A and B are shown apart, each in its own frame.
Chain A
Amino acid sequence: MLSMNNINKVFRTDLVETTALRDFNLTIDEGDFVSVTGPSGSGKTTFLNIAGLLETYTSGQYVLDGTDVSNLSDRQRSQLRNEKIGFIFQSFNLIPDLNLYDNVDVPLRYRGFSKQERHKRITQSLERVGLANRMKHLPAQLSGGQQQRVAIARALAGEPRFLLADEPTGNLDSQMAKSVMALLQEINQQGTTIVMVTHDPELAMQTGKNVFVRDGQISEHETLVPVALASNQ
């Protein structure tokens, strides 16, 4: 599903050069639920941005679902993001003056679906996260947990094969975090590959695989052993 080989990412300014990822190697198989942990500034978000085609890398090779993304144009990268990747952000990133229906509609518009197809997908996605009865509400009228559910519905509406979540529970209380995590697990069980960046070891333990990043590299000896794997060993 995702294969990164010797990926390097260097941020350059006139004065300094910062290496965010250094010979980063990672393979994620279809259907995996992978958590990425590590201290602040370790390169987690840079990895996620590169994985989501939001940022380019300095060297190495990245193959997403069989496509080498190195030489793709902006249009091709946008299309790939739109069709194959769903994003969930820590701060939900809903558009405040669009209601829930229109927020979920955004990626579908760029996909070029018909009105009927979009309506079907929006309704199904909102039903899946339990918010179908509030589709005309504005984001500000919802709790944080509900807003994150809308963001998940938006990510799911395009039926992506790959879901990238950047601290999806970072702005939620523990109860809401649990509920969002349960929803992500359910989505994963239905076949969607998920990569989740988190600071929370407890959440990381609930995924199928953990990757610990330090100084732009995977630190094998610090990698957590998720609950599911530990019980199998």
Chain B
Amino acid sequence: MATTMITTLDRSSRAAARGLSDMSIRNLFIIPTILFLIVFNIFPLIYSLGYSFTDFRASTNAAANFVGLQNYRDLLNDPYVWSNFAITAKYVIISVAGQLLVGFGVAMLLNRDIPLKGLLTTLLLLPMMLSMAVVGLFWKLLYDPSFGIINYALGLGTFEWLSNPKMALYAVALTDIWMWSPFVMLLSLAGLSAVPKHLYEAAAIDRAGPFYTFFRITLPLVAPILMIAVIFRTMEAFKTFDLAYILTSQPTAELISIRLYKMAFQEWQTGRSCALAYIVLIMVLAITNIYVKYLNKVKER
């Protein structure tokens, strides 16, 4: 293969005139990307792995001392970190479940012949296109207890959303649901329109009711693509930072990523925060792996 690729370079082309072979053109395109990836992703990843075994602090000039697994041991024994993980888990479950319900529901409503379907779909996709920080800022205004439109519309008076320790996490999750349901909707819509119409006709002929048809035909056929939506959304929700950081400073809404940020850039515990980052990475990988295994099983059926 490789030899034929090299020999197919047009001899009269300008590249050939400059003495460039196919191989060198290929390298020209690939090497910058690989360099970029190494410098900004792979190098820091490995470098921070090294730091995670030290007591290094980026704010001082003191040399890093190797402390072995001390950082990991401390972190895994720290009840505060565990409570951050619990908060994150709660947030992920609420927000992904909400997005799944709303997104799939709206997709079901849209999956029929209605006027202006295209325009409607596009408009519904808008929240997804906004920047997280912008969404955070204007939802902060919407949630405002004294002049926010949410309290006004729901007649809640001066109900505290974001500074209420019990409500803050739900408020962040709600914003996330608003923003990312369209993503689930888009994937669901693709899945739903791929279900052959004649199956629904066959089910109607077989006297299956709407619920029976939904659970026996629609859901099993859309399940794989819904699984993909769940994988993406779980990974994203797990590492949510900007939205929650902008919206609230309640300790009850302190996600693991916020904890990590504070540890690294406010407390300057660089070594320890590297260790925490690795723990988070391993967790996300584990969860994703479970999902992918399950996805393959769903696909096989």
Query: Are A and B co-members of a single complex?
Result: no
Q: Report which A residues bind B (CB closer than 8 A).
A: none
Residues of B within 8 A of A (CB): none
